[in-house]
Structure 1
């Protein structure tokens, strides 16, 4: 059925946009929009693009993802992630397109010690998480016929994510200090997209998707060093108090995938297997 559908992808130059373009494959009618081609904060340009292409699905991967810089530039984060998404939702509603939006585990405060389910109340600790939560609320109020997909600790091709940063240091055999008291789940963009595509046949709503398994940033970094053939003992664990960042992050942000599992959708593989695949491919 996908060959008869039209997909508009925002943020096509980002790691998630690239994964969608690659996974959807040849023969699918896709319009790829970079930041230069469509400023997500410009409602007029958004409407022009959607009106001219008439997509069945808008895959919204464009985002301001700099978590720490969002503390310095909160208005920019809100303009791109929240207000920009509102503009897009309004245009989708006007022209009958289904919206697929990607949110974050950072909408939660990390005070739980069991995985967050879709109906848990968000309570973000930083401006980035706030901007994503507001985007979710704008979508639910404007266009309930949407898919909101929360994910976590994303890594993939062509972006300065955690894996690529740690990998560069691994090849230099550089000692690092990495936080060990924040727990979550790494997610490979290609595995996320693979789970998303069948999801589009399910009822609209909020879904959690991540790779299987959990870890700390410290153990994640150690595994990256191991996969790069570098001594993982070069990584030293530190606490969040010792390693201060501009943005506060949840200490526990594991997302439950029980909703996805109950739908019959195949769950993504274990994160270590995905990481090994990514590093060896790179």
Structure 2
């Protein structure tokens, strides 16, 4: 089986890439320096020539690029998987969120992802939409929670963490496994991926401090009072267990 993936320089896609290869799948990485994203014919030709069974669109890019990908994969009969975000829900409201929750974000990133989801429903209704939470890696240098915490400690001398905020988040390895499992074994739909069932941000930071043996100064706050957890009982995803 063949897969194509975008965003391999980001946080999530490299883990999905490794997960696919661990399942003996042939993976083609979209390299923007070699294949343009602003020409519909070029996009179509590259996808047609590569002929993947599944296309994983994980990169952030112009919405027109997504439109070209959606049109091409739909026409060619290729399964399309798109990663969205919990940020489609408003920061001025609180969850928890379920598959029935209506996206209502006002911030630019959330609005962008809502537009992407709407575009897919127009051009490729059978596409998979996977809403992800904040990803947790084990290295600095990429957009993940561990990197954020390391930079916070370095810049501020401490990490302020709310015990009243319950974020949607997952370890990158678990997210990658879930993305591939859904693509291979589930019907097309919109799915919510989150491993955090019961822990506050403060709890998570303390756990990561122990896990990675970091000399962080963690300060408990209640500055953010919100529940951003997503729940989707249709899928199986490994939950956090810090006991």
**TM-score, scaled relative to structure 2:** 0.84
Aligned partner of 2:57 in structure 1 is 60
CA distance in 2, matches of 1:179, 1:29: 43
236 and 117 in structure 1: CA distance in 2 versus 1, 3 angstrom threshold: closer
Q: Does the CA contact (< 8 Å) of 2:80 and 2:128 recur in 1?
A: yes
| d(CA) in 2 for partners of 1:196, 1:253 | 20
**Residue in structure 2 matching 1:12, options 4, 8, 11:** 8
3-state DSSP class of the match of 2:12? helix
Task: Label 1:208 to 1:234 Cα distance change in 2 as closer, same or farther (>3 A).
Answer: closer
1:99-155 deviations in whole A, cap 9, x for unaligned? 100011111125665521112211013110011111111111111121110110113
Richer in helix (by share): 1
Q: Trace 1:67-82 onto structure 2 (pairs within 5 A).
A: 80=61, 82=63
| TM-aligned CA deviation for residue 92 of structure 1 | 1.0
Residues 34, 211 of structure 1: alpha-carbon distance in 2 compared, 3 angstrom cutoff: farther
Contact 1:103/1:151 (8 A) holds in 2: yes
Cα gap change, 1:135 to 1:172, in 2 (>3 Å): closer
**Residue of structure 2 equivalent to 1:185:** 168
Matches within 5 A, 1:75-94: 80=61, 82-94=63-75
The offset of 1:239, in angstroms, is 1.9
Partners of 2:67 and 2:120 within 8 A in 1: yes
Show structure 2 runs of 5+ residues with no match. Answer: none
Q: Specify the alignment match of 1:135 in structure 2.
A: 116
Tell me the equivalent position of 2:27. 30
Relative distance call for 1:168 and 1:272 in structure 2 (3 A) is farther
CA distance in 2, matches of 1:161, 1:223: 15
Instruction: Tell me whether 1:208 sits opposite 2:192 in the alignment.
Output: yes
Q: Which residue of 2 aligns with 1:224?
A: 208
Render the CA deviation track for 1:74-93: whole Å, top value 9, x for unaligned. Answer: xxxxxx25333222111111
Deviation track 1:237-265 (CA, whole Å, cap 9, x = no partner) reads: 2625xxxxxxxxx93321112122xxxxx
> How far does residue 7 in structure 1 lie from its aligned partner after superposition?
0.4
Instruction: Give the aligned partner of residue 252 of structure 1.
Output: 227
Contact persistence 1:58–1:100 (CA under 8 A): yes
Match of 1:277 in 2: none
Q: 1:168 to 1:128 in 2, by over 3 A?
A: closer
Calculate the TM-score normalised by the size of structure 1.
0.73
Q: Is the 8 A contact 1:83 1:135 kept in 2?
A: no
